[in-house]
Amino acid sequence: MNKSQNIYDNQDFFDGYKKLRDNQYSANNLEEKPALFSLAPDLQGKAVLDLGCGYGENCAEFKALGATTVLGVDISEKMLAVATAEHSDIEFIRADMSDLSFLKRKFDVVFSSLALHYIENFGLFVKDVYSLLNDGGYFIFSQEHPLTTAPIAGASWSKDADDNVLHYNLTDYARGGKRSTRWIVDGVEKYHRTFSEIINALVTAGFTIEKMIEPIPTKETIERDKSWEKYLHKPNFLLIKAMKKME
């Protein structure tokens, strides 16, 4: 009973996504991954859960950083086939992360990289994550930036006649809810949430906000490719580190 869309098992999407992830200059590799790992606590001896683990690359790094156990969960069979083949020392479970009730153990750190914008009921999801954490544990996630997910017609930029970016065309920021966009293929379903909706859901679940990052391209990245400068107008990602308070 999948509540979330499983776009990653669409062959065209899967092929396009694989190519994108292999690009060392992707926003994922240049911005999101360094920010995510900068938020990680010392993982030595820790039990780690990775929600929306995809190929399991992050899982392998959590293990390399000292985690005792790493469990990767993903909705996509194709993704997990790659993950299992490449990382035999890590446990993977295929499941829709919008219902985590099948998990009967607790974790010290729950990571989720660029998967939360697929979750419809964020408040419920965050409560599930909270109950899966040991006291003092962390929930660390990245998602598309709320300014990216906001426009109902899809993210777009205004440019001048010479193709220079003038501004980001911001619409619908305060209209939370489903977005159907084209990303690699048509009809990818995502959910837009404002900053306040995200923060309030975490606080309501019991989390303490520890840190927030909206990564920007480095000087080197902009020098290599001037088109990256536009992300100083509108960042690509939002990352949050939240803690389950000691009782």
Which one among 151, 190, 191, 244 touches its own copies, defined by CB under 8 A?
A: 151
| Residues 121-150, mask of contacts with its own copies (x by CB under 8 A) | --------------------------x---
CB of 208 to its own copies, least distance (A): 6
- 214 lines the binding site for its own copies (CB under 8 A): yes
Kindly give the interhelix angle for 122-132 and 195-205, rounded to the nearest 10 degrees: 40
Find out whether 129 and 241 touch, Cβ atoms under 8 Å.
no
Considering only the stretches 6-14, 38-46, 98-106, 194-202, report the one whose residues sit in contact with its own copies under the rule CB under 8 A: 194-202
Specify the DSSP class assigned to residue 174: T
How many residues touch its own copies under the rule CB under 8 A: the total is 32
Q: Which helix (H) or strand (E) holds 179?
A: strand 177-183
Between the two ends of the chain, the Cα-to-Cα distance in Å is 34
| Cβ at position 151, least distance to its own copies in Å | 8
144 φ/ψ angles, rounded to the nearest 5 degrees: -60, 145
Q: Which of 15, 229, 22, 52 is nearest to 143 (CA)?
A: 52
Residue 159 in the binding site for its own copies (CB under 8 A): no
141, β-bridge pairs: 112, 240
List 131, 173, 183, 185, residue binding its own copies (CB under 8 A): 173
Give the residue, chosen from 29, 84, 134, 200, that forms a contact with its own copies under the rule CB under 8 A. 200
Residue 166 is encoded by which pair of tokens?
């003038």
- Interface with its own copies (CB under 8 A), residue from 2, 196, 218, 227: 196
Interface with its own copies includes 85 (CB under 8 A)?
Answer: no
Of 2-10, 24-32, 95-103, 207-215: span binding its own copies (CB under 8 A): 207-215
The conformation of residue 86, written as its DSSP 8-state character, comes to H
Structure token pair of residue 216: 């920007």
- Compute CA distances 165 → 31, 69, 151, 160, whole Å: 20, 46, 17, 7
Per the CB < 8 A criterion, the answer to whether 32 and 215 are in contact is yes
Q: Is residue 119 within 8 Å of residue 2, measured between CB atoms? A: no
Region binding its own copies by CB under 8 A among candidate stretches 64-72, 81-89, 97-105, 210-218? 210-218
Looking at this protein, which amino acid is placed at residue 73? V
Interface positions, 4-23, toward its own copies (CB under 8 A): none
Q: How far is the CB of 241 from its own copies (least distance, A)?
A: 10
C-beta closer to its own copies: residue 85 or 232 = 232
Q: Which is nearer to its own copies, 183 or 195 (CB)?
A: 195
Positions in the binding site for its own copies (CB under 8 A):
147, 151, 158, 166-175, 194-196, 199-200, 203, 208-214, 216, 231-235
